[in-house]
Amino acid sequence: MRRFEWPVRVYYEDTDAGGVVYYANYLKYLERGRTEWLRHLGFGQEQLMRDSGIVFAVRHVEIDYLVPARFDDALVVQVEIAALSKVSITFHQRLLRTPDRVLTEAKVKVVCLDKEKFRPVAIPVDIREAIDAHQ
């Protein structure tokens, strides 16, 4: 799939006493990027829970912190599909300080789950078709 990008801003609440983004908050930025990527494809999280009975849950994360983000930085979250299986999507994600300084790189695997049973289920056909259409 083509690379999807979503802007984020570092707020004071995201940082530690030194004005550097607290390490766990990078995961929040990556999550926002994936959520907005899915919305860009035409699927909101609430809609998927209600209409399709599914949720996407993070199964695995590998993350490299290369350069710190700081208070008030304008950042861009990049989202690309690295692998797609019947029940999961593995993303390659980067967080950049605009225009092109890579701060963080991550590999994030999400699994499609039945919202009631929390068991893996196939990614719905309409989502797969939307992914294919945006490649």
Does the annotation mark 114 as catalytic?
Answer: no
Q: pLDDT tens across 44-67, in order?
A: 999 999 999 999 999 999 999 999
Check residue 30 and give its pLDDT: 98
DSSP 66-106: -S--BTT-EEEEEEEEEEE-SSEEEEEEEEEETTTEEEEEE
- The CATH class, in words, for 4-125 is alpha beta
Alpha-carbon separation of residue 51 from 5, 101, 113 (angstroms): 27, 39, 14
Residue 67 makes CB contacts below 8 A (sequence gap 6+) with 97, 101, 102, 103
How many angstroms separate the CA atoms of 74 and 76, rounded? 7
Catalytic residue among 16, 72, 126, 132: 16
The backbone region for 98, taken as left when phi is positive above 0, alpha when psi lies in -120 to 50, beta otherwise, is beta
Check residue 99 and give its pLDDT: 79
Check residue 1 and give its pLDDT: 55
Give the Cα-Cα-Cα angle 29, 22, 64 (nearest 5 degrees): 65
pTM here is 0.93
Is the distance from CB of 62 to CB of 84 less than 8 angstroms? no
Alpha-carbon separation of residue 55 from 20, 95, 117, 125 (angstroms): 32, 24, 11, 15
Output the CA torsion sign for 48, 52, 58, 60: negative
Q: Where do the structural domains in the chain lie, given as residue ranges?
A: 4-125
Query: Which residue bears the tokens 């999961």?
Result: 88
Residues (pLDDT < 50) of the chain are none
